[in-house]
Chain A
Amino acid sequence: MAGIDINTYKEVDGNGTDYLSLIGWLGVFAAAGVGAAFYMETQGHVVTGMSNQIVWGVPHVFAVFLIIAASGALNVASMSSVFGKNIYKPLGRLSAIMALSLLAGGLMVLVLDLGRPDRIDVAMLEQNFKSIFAWNIYLYSGFFVVVIVYLWMMMERRFNKYSKIAGTFAFIWRISLTTGTGSIFGFLMARPGYDAAIMAPLFIAMSFALGLAIKILFITSTYRVTERALGDKLLFQMRNLLGIFIAAALYFTVVQHLTNLYAAEHMGVERFILLDGGIYTMAFWLGQIVLGSLVPMVLLFHPAINRSCQSINAASMLVILGGLVQVYIIIVGGQAYPLEMFPGFEVSSTFFDGSVHSYTPSLPEIVLGLGGVATALLIMALAVKFLPILPLSLSDAAVGPANITTKEDE
Chain B
Amino acid sequence: MTKTTPTALADEKIDTERRRLLAAGGAVAVATGIILYGAGAGARPKGQPASSAQRWGMLIDTNADPSDWDTAISACKREQGWGGGNNPATDPQWIRKVSIKNKSTGAQATFPVMCQHCANPPCVDVCPTGASIKRADGIVLVDKHICIGCRYCMMACPYSARSFVHEPVHNQKPHMPRGMGTVESCTMCVHRVDAGLLPACVNALNKKGSKAIIFGDLNNPDSEISRAVSAHVTRRIREDLGVEPGVHYKGI
> Chain A residues with Cβ under 8 A from B154's Cβ?
52, 55
CA–CA, A378 and B209, complex, Å: 67
> Chain A residues with Cβ under 8 A from B146's Cβ?
119, 122, 126
Asked if A120 and B100 make an inter-chain contact with CB atoms under 8 angstroms apart, the answer reads no
Asked if A131 and B90 make an inter-chain contact with CB atoms under 8 angstroms apart, the answer reads no
CA–CA, A116 and B184, complex, Å: 14
Asked if B148 and A44 make an inter-chain contact with CB atoms under 8 angstroms apart, the answer reads no
Quick one: CB contact mask for B142-185 with A, threshold 8 Å, 1 for yes? 00001111111011111110111111100000000001111100
Asked if B182 and A187 make an inter-chain contact with CB atoms under 8 angstroms apart, the answer reads no
A residues whose Cβ falls under 8 Å from a Cβ of B: 41, 43-46, 51-53, 55-56, 114-117, 119-120, 122-123, 126-128, 130-134, 136-137, 184, 187-191, 335, 339-342, 344-353
Interface with A: B15-23, B124-132, B220-228, which one?
Answer: B124-132
CA–CA, A341 and B130, complex, Å: 26
> Chain A residues with Cβ under 8 A from B157's Cβ?
190
Given contacts A339-B158, A349-B99, contact A41 B181 (CB under 8 A): yes
Which 10 residue pairs are nearest across A and B when measured between Cβ atoms? Answer: A115-B149, A115-B181, A190-B158, A133-B128, A51-B89, A128-B130, A46-B166, A345-B100, A55-B151, A349-B98
CA–CA, A55 and B148, complex, Å: 14
Q: Name A130's contact: one of B125, B237, B238 (CB within 8 Å).
A: B125
Asked if B125 and A44 make an inter-chain contact with CB atoms under 8 angstroms apart, the answer reads no
Given contacts A44-B165, A115-B149, contact A52 B100 (CB under 8 A): no
Interface size on B, residues (CB 8 A): 56
Q: Is B199 an interface residue (CB 8 A)?
A: no
CA–CA, A114 and B93, complex, Å: 20
CA–CA, A192 and B151, complex, Å: 18
Q: Name A115's contact: one of B91, B128, B168, B182 (CB within 8 Å).
A: B182
> Chain A residues with Cβ under 8 A from B241's Cβ?
189-190
Give 4 A-B pairs besides A126-B146, A133-B127, A346-B100 with Cβ atoms closer than 8 angstroms: A56-B155, A130-B125, A134-B129, A190-B238
Asked if B101 and A345 make an inter-chain contact with CB atoms under 8 angstroms apart, the answer reads yes
The residue of chain A having its C-beta at the shortest distance from the C-beta of B169 within the complex is: A44
Asked if B180 and A350 make an inter-chain contact with CB atoms under 8 angstroms apart, the answer reads no
Asked if A127 and B130 make an inter-chain contact with CB atoms under 8 angstroms apart, the answer reads yes
Asked if B129 and A52 make an inter-chain contact with CB atoms under 8 angstroms apart, the answer reads no
Asked if B98 and A348 make an inter-chain contact with CB atoms under 8 angstroms apart, the answer reads yes
Asked if B148 and A52 make an inter-chain contact with CB atoms under 8 angstroms apart, the answer reads no
Asked if A45 and B150 make an inter-chain contact with CB atoms under 8 angstroms apart, the answer reads no
Q: List 28 A-B contacts (CB under 8 A).
A: A46-B166, A51-B90, A52-B90, A52-B93, A56-B155, A114-B150, A115-B183, A116-B149, A116-B179, A122-B129, A126-B130, A126-B146, A128-B127, A128-B132, A131-B152, A134-B129, A188-B155, A188-B156, A189-B122, A341-B98, A341-B159, A341-B238, A342-B237, A344-B104, A350-B97, A351-B96, A351-B98, A353-B160
Q: Which of B105-138 contact A (CB under 8 A)?
A: 113, 122, 124-132
Asked if B155 and A55 make an inter-chain contact with CB atoms under 8 angstroms apart, the answer reads yes
The residue of chain A having its C-beta at the shortest distance from the C-beta of B99 within the complex is: A348
The residue of chain A having its C-beta at the shortest distance from the C-beta of B158 within the complex is: A190
Asked if B90 and A45 make an inter-chain contact with CB atoms under 8 angstroms apart, the answer reads yes
Q: Which of B179-238 contact A (CB under 8 A)?
A: 179-183, 237-238
> Chain A residues with Cβ under 8 A from B122's Cβ?
188-190
Q: Is B103 an interface residue (CB 8 A)?
A: yes
Q: Is B47 an interface residue (CB 8 A)?
A: no
CA–CA, A189 and B155, complex, Å: 10
The residue of chain B having its C-beta at the shortest distance from the C-beta of A342 within the complex is: B100
Q: Name A52's contact: one of B97, B159, B163 (CB within 8 Å).
A: B163
> Chain A residues with Cβ under 8 A from B160's Cβ?
52-53, 339, 341, 351, 353
Asked if A128 and B163 make an inter-chain contact with CB atoms under 8 angstroms apart, the answer reads no
Asked if A347 and B100 make an inter-chain contact with CB atoms under 8 angstroms apart, the answer reads yes
Most buried by A among B90, B162, B165, B182: B90
Given contacts A122-B129, A339-B160, A346-B103, contact A46 B87 (CB under 8 A): yes
> Chain A residues with Cβ under 8 A from B7's Cβ?
none
Q: Is B92 an interface residue (CB 8 A)?
A: yes
Asked if B128 and A44 make an inter-chain contact with CB atoms under 8 angstroms apart, the answer reads no
> Chain B residues with Cβ under 8 A from A340's Cβ?
238
Q: Is B102 an interface residue (CB 8 A)?
A: yes
Q: Which of B36-67 contact A (CB under 8 A)?
A: none
Chain A's nearest CB lies how many Å from the CB of B69?
11
Chain A's nearest CB lies how many Å from the CB of B237?
6
Asked if A46 and B155 make an inter-chain contact with CB atoms under 8 angstroms apart, the answer reads no
CA–CA, A353 and B100, complex, Å: 10
Most buried by A among B93, B101, B102, B181: B181
Asked if A346 and B101 make an inter-chain contact with CB atoms under 8 angstroms apart, the answer reads yes
The residue of chain A having its C-beta at the shortest distance from the C-beta of B87 within the complex is: A46
